[in-house]
Amino acid sequence: MTILQARNLRKSFASTTALQDLNLDIQSGSFFGLLGPNGAGKSTFMSIVSGFLVQDSGKLTLEGQALVPSDIAQKKKIGLSPQHIALYKELSAESNLKLFGKIYGLSGKVLSQQIEYALEVAQLSDRRKSAVKEFSGGMKRRLNIATALMHKPKILLCDEPTVGVDPQSRNAIFDTLLDLKGEGMTVVYSTHYMEEAERLCDQIGIIDAGKILRTGTLDTLLQELPRTNIIRARAASLDESNQAGFRQFGEVEPDGSSLQLKTQADFKLSHFFRWTEEQGLDASDFQIARPSLEDLFLHLTGKDLRE
Ligand SMILES: Nc1ncnc2c1ncn2[C@@H]1O[C@H](COP(=O)(O)OP(=O)(O)OP(=O)(O)O)[C@@H](O)[C@H]1O
Ligand SMILES: [Mg+2]
């Protein structure tokens, strides 16, 4: 079932077009990755869905109903963890959560219960009384996500939640979001890291210049690429005559201290390894990479995902 649908969504800021006929269908219960470079329109999309911005034209539906910014019942179904941390630095973790809960109309026992729940999700129960200004980047990020969960939304929009976060907190955030998905929540996750999209998301939308270029699972998206292998070899492990032999398998480019080979269409890995064996080369000096979302992005746009 589609929980969130966008049709021909457009949004401009003065002369900048942030969203240009954006179309999207997000399935209920999915972990949907919005993958795109800086300025692609990810935050603008999330801001419109959560009612902080209004589109110039186009339509959004939530569970089949037109999404209306003033509809409180609809608002309660959506949680936004914004890209830029939105917390009160002087206040404690607990007070921040209380404040966000009250904004969503929670009070009394439900409010206290949700504060406990959110502290647990953020793994900050033991730091509940500490002021946010004393927190590390990762702790702030976790709390920034937890505030979006106070009103038990059905759909959580998480805008680049791992930027500036240490690896341990990053893994904690991944685990938390995957748990939330396990409990049936729909997670929309924006990122410009293809590794995150590959690791976390069951559906991925590739966004660039305000448009969704493709959506699908990792596997279906990658099927669009020509079936080339990339083989990396340490340049030092190949002498001149071997380098010439290496070239018979495709196009070779130097890449730092490595040689990168893009194989031809009729390439067979078995032929390649027969050759390494004949030459007395060590097979473990060659790394074989499958195409990635980064390659797909380059294929679709002619640009690198990362600048
Ligand atoms: N309030 C604003 N005023 C003017 N231009 C804006 C505003 N918000 C966004 N833009 C522009 O709209 C485009 C899309 O921006 P958006 O923030 O949605 O991209 P993004 O995909 O979230 O990028 P990032 O990965 O850097 O966060 C950019 O060109 C941006 O400069
Ligand atoms: Mg953004």
Q: What is the pLDDT of residue 189?
A: 97
For residue 34, give the ligand nearest its CA. Answer: 1
Nearest Cα residue to atom 4 of ligand 1: 13
**Which pair of tokens denotes residue 127?**
């730091």
For residue 159, give the ligand nearest its CA. Answer: 2
Whether the CB of 46 sits within 6 Å of ligand 1:
no
For residue 39, give the ligand nearest its CA. Answer: 1
**How far apart, in whole angstroms, are the C-alpha atoms of residue 61 and residue 81?**
20
**How far apart, in whole angstroms, are the C-alpha atoms of residue 157 and residue 80?**
5
Our CA dihedral for 115, 202, 53, 214, rounded to 10 degrees, sits at: 170
Q: What is the pLDDT of residue 307?
A: 63
Running DSSP on this structure, what letter comes out for residue 67? P
Neighbours of ion ligand 2 (CB under 5 A): 42-43, 83
Whether the CB of 40 sits within 6 Å of ligand 1:
yes
DSSP secondary structure string for all residues of 110-148: HHHHHHHHHHHHTT-GGGTTSBGGGS-HHHHHHHHHHHT
Atom of ligand 1 nearest to the CA of 37: 25
| Four-residue CA torsion sign, 261, 265, 269, 271 | negative
- Cβ-based burial of 100 (10 A; exposed 0-12, middle 13-18, buried ≥19): buried
Report whether 64 contacts 25 (CB < 8 A). no
Give, for all 307 residues of the chain, the pLDDT tens digit. 999 999 999 999 999 999 999 999 999 999 999 999 999 999 999 999 999 999 999 999 999 999 998 899 999 999 999 999 999 999 999 999 999 999 999 999 999 999 999 999 999 999 999 999 999 999 999 999 999 999 999 999 999 999 888 888 899 999 999 999 999 999 999 999 999 999 999 999 999 999 999 999 998 999 888 777 889 898 888 888 888 999 999 999 888 888 989 888 778 888 898 999 999 998 888 888 878 898 899 989 988 887 6
**How far apart, in whole angstroms, are the C-alpha atoms of residue 273 and residue 278?**
8
Q: What is the pLDDT of residue 97?
A: 98
Neighbours of 16 (CB within 10 A): 10
CA of 231 to the centre of ligand 2 (A): 34
Whether the CB of 15 sits within 6 Å of ligand 1:
no
| Four-residue CA torsion sign, 254, 256, 262, 268 | positive
For residue 42, give the ligand nearest its CA. Answer: 1
CA of 185 to the centre of ligand 2 (A): 22
CA distances from 181 to 27, 96, 175, 176 (A): 12, 24, 10, 9
CA of 9 to the centre of ligand 1 (A): 15
**What does pTM read for this prediction?**
0.88
**How far apart, in whole angstroms, are the C-alpha atoms of residue 181 and residue 249?**
44
**How far apart, in whole angstroms, are the C-alpha atoms of residue 99 and residue 81?**
15
The neighbouring-strand residues paired with 190 are: 34, 159
Whether the CB of 9 sits within 6 Å of ligand 1:
no
Ligand 1, pocket-test mutation among 9, 16, 45, most atoms within 8 A of CB: 16
**Which pair of tokens denotes residue 22?**
């954006």
Whether the CB of 13 sits within 6 Å of ligand 1:
yes
CA distances from 252 to 25, 33, 118, 131, 249 (A): 40, 33, 52, 55, 9
Q: What is the pLDDT of residue 264?
A: 81
